Structure 1
């Protein structure tokens, strides 16, 4: 394929993701560019490689079948300073514990989280939703159809992950210990 055509496709991906207020569906992006899925995957990998290798301030994050252009975690301090944001507050131990449970066990209901934690988790779940770290991803096929929670693209961004497969492994831990493990303490 011609280099100018590749450059144009890379520029088109950047532009589409830049103008989109929400994450873009992979299939919609593929359709707009009129290219094969494998080629789109290669283009996204190329863009992210360029961003990372040149220490650029942007990244393309993928969550499920959506893509979004986001700022690099390395420039967060500068963005906060520019926007005049107060130093971000850290998540509480309860919030980190709940977030860990959701990240590793998703999709999971509030009742499932509470069964693991042993305490009411409504307030913590509300906090995590308010920070856009978790979201409703469906309803359980059980009595009352309780809400199922999962992590968001913002969760991936805040923890510097490209996808959930990059979560640290919890090998060597018992099932009980796995549910009590927590992610690194990060500033939100």
Structure 2
């Protein structure tokens, strides 16, 4: 293998694992090569990834010089594709309010929106809409007396939790404060 190809491979390997842009000096130090030689190899990699050498199509990534260093980036034309993929792979985290509402539904299902609001002592309309939209809860029927919509958890939630059934949820009573804490030492 020619020395310039070995250097290009070394630079690629270093740049792939880097969290931040690496300067030509840092790359030269890591590869024990002169800075001029490293810059030439970096220019060659940039041209190769852009498809400038021999008419090859540009790669899906590019090597850019930014903030005084070099780093790999997704080619700008592919940003929408990658953004959609990343959003699907890493769903947004639930807020504390959503987690609390989800717990009430999981442990009390089937349960109405009014009962959830009563337990949480806050309006839960938007949180319930969010949980419905994410597919974590679903409408499971209507209360025969009030005709209120009843909610329950979905298979998707069970998969996220890694359980097969809500009966596998941990008992909640040991996790709750019994309300007596802080009163033992008080005198009236």
With the length of structure 1 as denominator, give the TM-score of the two structures.
0.47
Q: Which structure is richer in relative contact order (CA contacts within 8 A, separation 6 or more)?
A: 1
Query: Computing the radius of gyration over CA atoms, which structure comes out larger, 1 or 2?
Result: 2
